[in-house]
Structure 1
Amino acid sequence: MLKHILAALQQHAAAEYPRECCGLILAVGRKQVYFPCANVATEPTEEFRIAPEQYAEAEDKGQVIGIVHSHPDATSRPSPRDLAMCEATGLPWHILSWPEGDLRTITPTGETPLLGRPFVHGAWDCWQVCADWYQREWGLEFPSYTREDGWWEQAAGPSLYEQAYEAAGFYQVDRPERGDMIVMAVGRTAHPNHAGIYLGSDPRLPGEQADLYGPGPFLLHHLYGRPSEVIIYGGPWHDRARLILRHKEAR
């Protein structure tokens, strides 16, 4: 990180302490500049969020080449959410511990394992593990869907799986085949709120091997608060199923 950007970041972190500060590094012509942002997170001492309109304002000024935030009274070690969002944005993330002053940079690896990833809603969650399976297995790409944590608890709010599956290229079927997405209702919910990939009798994953053997059938999923995993699809999981969806480009 260039010295003038580090100095601007340190000044920002001190001004926002004990809240997390956040900002963007922009390439403006041949120069790099620090663009400080307001932290609009609900709990700004624990996390940060940059408003979309402020991100758009930064993009009008230059190319975003890095995302920056501070960890007040904590180390610069990235949290699971930091790692997940670094992958989601495809940009380097710079983390400054404050007031300690340690700076750490993490960069996207380009491919997070399907198994064992920690749960981070909106970045590493049940939808994302499904989308990543489709990308790696079939080469399908999906847009980034904005989803607020707890959307399924609001009866009057959107039912994201039910309302979006047709536009995403899925249609309903009666019996699952390998690669179908099973949409389920888990816990106290007003809408189906969980999904996984039906693997049939073959638990193998692209580039990975699930530690399960036997007749199956198997399901790849990422349950709220747990690492992503492959499970036996049956019993209570079968009973929770509400939709069986097949993509129009299923292979």
Structure 2
Amino acid sequence: MTPAQITEYIGMPWVSGEWDCWAFFRHCQATYYGRDVPAVDVDALDLRQVITTMETHDERSNWFEVTDPKDGDAVLMQRNRYPSHIGMWVNVDGGKVLHCAQGMGVVCQTRQALALDGWGLMTFWHHR
């Protein structure tokens, strides 16, 4: 994604079930990378359901973990012990994570800014 494309989304509000982290990730994958990522029927406000779905959903088999993220790769983030949020790596300004978070909406943050917001371990995933 280009900086101009990213800017179009910054500030758009998070809406559970409509424009949450997964819906935003799906939209970007389809629009900019031609990947058809399936919808997932999960209550974005039910943290336990989100964590379980992220670990067990069939879509996970279409991605493999990498240490050096590329533009468009998935970024799984966690605040506690398990991943509960998804964003997308974008190659701008040395690399940032574009994501849609509850209470913030769409933001584009460095790893350092994510850590300051309480996001711990991040893993990067590339589509097969």
Bin the TM-score by the shorter chain. 0.7 to 0.9
Matches within 5 A, 1:74-223: 114-153=9-48, 159-164=52-57, 165-167=59-61, 169-186=62-79, 189=80, 191-200=82-91, 202=92, 215-223=93-101
Q: Which residue does 2:123 correspond to in 1? A: 243
Q: Which residue does 1:234 correspond to in 2? A: 112
- What 5-or-longer segments of structure 2 have no aligned partner? 1-7
Contact 1:185–1:194 (8 Å) recurs in 2: yes
Higher relative contact order (CA 8 A, sep 6+): 2
- Structure 2: how far apart are the matches of 1:197 and 1:158? 18
- Structure 1: how far apart are the matches of 2:51 and 2:84? 11
- Structure 1: how far apart are the matches of 2:38 and 2:48? 24
4+ residue runs of structure 1 moved beyond 4 angstroms?
none
Q: Deviations over 1:160-181 (max 9, x none)?
A: 22222424x2111122122111
TM-score (norm 2): 0.75
Aligned residues: 118
Query: Which amino acid counterpart does residue 241 of structure 1 have in structure 2?
Result: L
| Counterparts in 2 of 1:243 and 1:234: CA distance versus 1, 3 Å | same
- Structure 2: how far apart are the matches of 1:158 and 1:230? 23
| Counterparts in 2 of 1:190 and 1:234: CA distance versus 1, 3 Å | closer
- Structure 2: how far apart are the matches of 1:230 and 1:149? 20
Contact 1:221–1:230 (8 Å) recurs in 2: yes
Q: Which structure's residues are more often helix, by fraction?
A: 2
Query: Which amino acid counterpart does residue 123 of structure 1 have in structure 2?
Result: E
Q: Deviations over 1:105-137 (max 9, x none)?
A: xxxxxxxx5332211112101111111111111
- What 5-or-longer segments of structure 1 have no aligned partner? 1-112, 203-214
Query: Which amino acid counterpart does residue 128 of structure 1 have in structure 2?
Result: A
Contact 1:119–1:223 (8 Å) recurs in 2: yes
Query: Which amino acid counterpart does residue 41 of structure 2 have in structure 1?
Result: T
| Counterparts in 2 of 1:160 and 1:116: CA distance versus 1, 3 Å | same
Contact 2:73–2:124 (8 Å) recurs in 1: yes
TM-score (norm 1): 0.41
